[in-house]
Amino acid sequence: MQKLVITAAICGAEVTKEHNPAVPYTIAEIAREAKSAYDAGASIIHLHVRHDDGTPTQDRARFQEAVDAIRKLCPDAIIQPSTGGAVGMTDLERLQSTDIVPTPEFATLDCGTCNFGGDEIFVNSDNTIKNFAKIMKERGIKPELEVFDKGMIDIALRLDAKGLLVHPLHFDFVLGVQISATVRDLVFMAGSIPPGATWTATGIGRSAWTIAAASIAMGGHVRIGFEDNLYLEKGVLAKSNGEMVEKVKAIAKLLGREIANPAEARVMLGLSK
């Protein structure tokens, strides 16, 4: 079985210090959390940025500052900017995260509109998805295809049929927002992508550890971090992203999976030139 690639989603756009005091806002805090995850074994840092008061932003300068700070502490990490941003942002706002120096090798591409609870709707029209794919391809950025249900896999495959994606395709299954976070649904999602494609999975909230263990056992990869889950176990807040990566490593060891380093992850995901 392939080595396990661990992605650390270190802060997201929605969780706050009121939920867990360790959630990073400032550049120094973001760099600290990236290093904690990297030192624990994460190859990929999935990056959102905040203003110092915790407000999410896609500001180009803020992303540049965060990437520069992370790069100093984690020189060979794969830094994966989010183009998702936060609910209500425009397409042009969201794409600022890819317009930094050096150009990111990897970034997220959300493949559909989904409900985030209450009145919150994360909108990705067909034209938005196509335009993001075209711009990322022009900039030489490989997309991680963010899919929240089976229909979004189909949308991604239609993009691929138009020649807008880069092979091998890589998917991130986000379970527990729209499709349920069960092993049954993880198996369904993994069975719905083409041969040769790679995949990572994450479970939101209480499902995080079940989905991590199932992904490891199935030969997939794992995303973990404060964006998706705040707890190390029931009732116990995680002290850092690194603490959660260490738990993934412990599960992987029990299940016989070795951990990939960034160079190995680049080869497996088709990022190495």
Q: For the chain, give every domain's residue range.
A: 6-269
- The whole-number pLDDT of residue 272 equals 72
| pLDDT number for residue 85 | 79
Cα(4)–Cα(261) distance, integer angstroms: 9
Rounded distance between C-alpha atoms, residue 61 and residue 156, angstroms: 30
Q: Is 90 exceeded by the pLDDT of residue 116?
A: no
Residue 15 — pLDDT band, cuts 50, 70, 90? very high
Residue 118's pLDDT band (boundaries 50, 70, 90)?
confident
Contacts of 248 (CB under 8 A, 6+ apart): 4, 6, 41, 212, 216, 222, 224
185: alpha, beta or left? (left if phi > 0; alpha if psi -120 to 50): alpha
Q: Where are the beta strands (DSSP E) in the chain?
A: 6-9, 44-47, 49-50, 56-57, 78-81, 106-110, 114-115, 121-122, 142-147, 170-175, 198-203, 221-224, 231-233, 236-237
What share of the chain has pLDDT > 90, as a percent?
Answer: 93
The pLDDT of residue 273 is above 60: no
Assigned token pair, 9: 């989603």
- 217-232 pLDDT, tens digit per residue, is 999 999 999 999 999 9
Provide the CATH number for the domain formed by 6-269 in this structure: 3.20.20.70
Q: Specify the pLDDT at position 117.
A: 82
